Chain A
Amino acid sequence: EDQVTQSPEALRLQEGESSSLNCSYTVSGLRGLFWYRQDPGKGPEFLFTLYSAGEEKEKERLKATLTKKESFLHITAPKPEDSATYLCAVQDPGTGFQKLVFGTGTRLLVSP
């Protein structure tokens, strides 16, 4: 059973058109939820860590929020340079605190 599910798979926005990406998770005893950005052919770039429901983190046009079952990555007034795949990952408490379990990602394309 998938522990991390991201939606939508792909999202196309116009520059300035705000939207949200969703990450739902099924692990119990969450020890951390992580958002990464991945450009084509590159490694994941760390964005945020969230630990408890109600927590929020912001960085430029991005804001991540966490509930007991899901996390949202809100993108406000996106620019073309925000185009990338956004990955969500959780720590897997069942097998050890270090392993990250990733979702399949949301491919974001922002058109000028």
Chain B
Amino acid sequence: EPEVTQTPSHQVTQMGQEVILRCVPISNHLYFYWYRQILGQKVEFLVSFYNNEISEKSEIFDDQFSVERPDGSNFTLKIRSTKLEDSAMYFCASSDGTNNEQFFGPGTRLTVL
């Protein structure tokens, strides 16, 4: 069964460093998303991406964040200068767009020290 994959599973970084989280969405899906979940809190929407551009973003997704689809299979989230409060699980999701059923990857745990 097709699934969303994410790498790395765990990333530890120093405050102020740049990180890139990687995702491979389900191959025939056209809509891509990033969500995050701070420990013990809700899953929160960050950004959606369609047709090589951002279609929607949340207040959390400020200038420190960017997304890119560098090739036909990968979808990345970059955080330019990490802060302690960026520590969270980051989930990538994808959808074929017909009914907005979003399928999530296993997540990347980001720890900012």
Q: Which residues of A contact B (CB under 8 A)?
A: 31-32, 34, 36, 41-46, 49, 87, 89, 91, 95-105
Contact between B104 and A44, CB atoms less than 8 A apart: yes
Contact status of A99 and B48, CB under 8 A, knowing A31-B100, A32-B99: yes
| Residues in B neighbouring A103, C-beta threshold 8 A | 42
Type the 1/0 row for B1-40, where 1 means its CB is closer than 8 Å to any CB of A: 0001010000000000000000000000001010100000
User: Is B45 part of the contact surface with A, judged by Cβ < 8 Å?
Assistant: yes
Decide if A98 touches B91 in the complex (CB within 8 Å): no
Contact residues of B: prevailing secondary structure: strand
Bound CA span A97–B55, Å: 10
Q: Which chain B residues border A34 with CB–CB below 8 Å? A: 101-102
> Would you give 9 A-B contacts (Cβ < 8 Å), ordered by A?
A32-B100, A42-B107, A43-B107, A46-B103, A49-B99, A96-B56, A97-B100, A98-B33, A99-B56
Interface pair A43/B102, CB less than 8 Å apart: no
Tally of contact residues, B, Cβ under 8 A: 28
Give residues of chain B (73-113) contacting chain A, Cβ–Cβ below 8 Å: 89, 91, 95, 99-107, 109
Residue pair B48, A98 in contact (C-beta under 8 Å): yes
B100 & A98 in contact (Cβ 8 Å cutoff): yes
Once bound together, how far apart are the Cα atoms of A58 and B95, in whole Å? 22
Residues of A contacting B101 with CB < 8 Å?
A: 34, 46, 49
Residue in A closest to B99 when the chains form the complex, CB atoms: A49
